[in-house]
Amino acid sequence: MYIRSTFLIAFSFIFFLSCKHKNNPEDPAISNVDTTVQELKIEVYDSTALAFLDPNTNFEVLAKGFYWSEGPLWVDDLQSVIFSDVPANKIYKWNEKDSLSVYLESAGHSGTENKSSGRGPNGLILDLEGKLLICQHGDRRIARLDADLNNPEPQFTTVADTYQGKQFNSPNDLAIDEAGIIYFTDPPYGLPENKTGEIGMNGVFKVNPEKEVSVLIDSLTMPNGIGLSLDQKTLYVNQSNPKNPVLYSYEVTGDGTLDNGKVLFDFQTLSEDKNGLPDGLKIHKSGNIFATGPGGVHIISPEGKHLAAIFTGKSTANCAFDKNHEYLYMTTTDRLMRLKLK
């Protein structure tokens, strides 16, 4: 079944940058509101998507002016969404009460001397103890924020930074299972000229609670977003290779290795006239995959069927749900956006 809903968003844009935080010309994210009218659209290709997606919902622009926004994460204890701005080396926080604020400085390349290095944080998740885990491009590691979430300071513990004695390229995105095993991608995007480092591959890895690192996949050219199915039996990996922009799925076996890898969805036909490549992804409580890709966010079933697309008008890096999956938050180049879900 194919249902198409295309609509103009003009005065229905809702902006939240009139916050308590004073404008700072040196901080691109604390900027004046831009009321430019843009055409945004939602397309539904299968009626099953209508169970959680309203084609007539409004897009909300919550904040704008970032260099490259990434890695959104809802933190229920803060009643906020936090997200990375990679080149700014910062993590920002947004909520209904206080709007936008800087959450953590030097978040991806630690040390005050690296504040403006341009090699900042990327993917964010919480571990089983509620501690923030960060993919750090500059420090080339998975790190845990040791400070209290309500009073963050750039104090980190290394979770994983090497494999067989060789330093990672620049960990990009991560997911965690109920046993505390962290799965993460390690492309070279945070390295000069995107060249693979001394580790010699762009891999998909896991690290267990004892901090033992294992390689799961060493054959992908540009692994990026990663996520686990609701039953934790399938691992999904987005690949950002412009010559092979695809979403892979892998069976997680009983011994923790991966098997039966396959292309679940091919973005190639979409990439011809849309901005962006496969990037981050999240799993909705319905079990469907919300995967960023050409033009915005694409909703894909576990069987690989294209259910719907949310076209943001921007290259879209990643997305996240709040605790009850009432909202979808999206980091779209220089913006933080959201949609209300059913």
User: Is 131 within 8 Å of 144 (Cβ atoms)?
Assistant: yes
In sequence order, which residues have a C-beta less than 8 Å from that of residue 243 and are 6 or more positions away?
none
The answer for residues whose C-beta is within 8 angstroms of residue 166's C-beta and 6 or more apart is 197, 198, 199, 200
Q: Which two tokens stand for residue 114?
A: 């690296």
Alpha carbon separation from 170 to 149, 288, 305 (Å, rounded):
24, 28, 31
Q: Is 12 helix (H, G, I), strand (E, B) or coil?
A: coil
Per-domain residue ranges of the chain: 65-302+330-340
Rg of the chain over Cα atoms, rounded to whole angstroms, equals 19
User: Does residue 328 contact residue 283 with C-beta atoms inside 8 Å?
Assistant: no
Identity of residue 291: A
Three-state DSSP state, 135 = strand
Give pLDDT tens digits for 125-183.
999 999 999 999 999 999 999 988 998 988 999 999 999 999 999 999 999 999 999 99
What is the pLDDT, as a whole number, of residue 78?
Answer: 97
Question: According to the model, what pLDDT value does residue 269 have?
Answer: 84
Residues of the chain with pLDDT below 70 are: 1-39, 271, 273
Instruction: Phi first, then psi: give them for residue 113, nearest 5 degrees.
Output: -70, -15
User: Within 13 Å, how many C-alpha atoms sit on residue 71's CB side?
Assistant: 32
Residue 69 burial (C-beta neighbours within 10 Å; 0-12, 13-18, 19+): buried
Instruction: List, in sequence order, every residue forming a beta bridge with 87; answer none if it has no partner.
Output: none
Provide the pLDDT for residue 270: 85
Residue 230 CA, chain-centre distance (Å), reads 18
Torsion of CA 106, 292, 163, 116, to 10 degrees: -20
Q: Which CATH superfamily is domain 65-302+330-340 in?
A: TolB, C-terminal domain (2.120.10.30)
- CB of 286 closer than 8 Å to CB of 49: no
Strand order in the sheet with 213-217: 174-176, 182-186, 203-207, 213-217
Contact 321, 282 (CB under 8 A): yes
Residue 23 is classified by DSSP as P
pLDDT of residue 39: 64
Residue type, 285: K
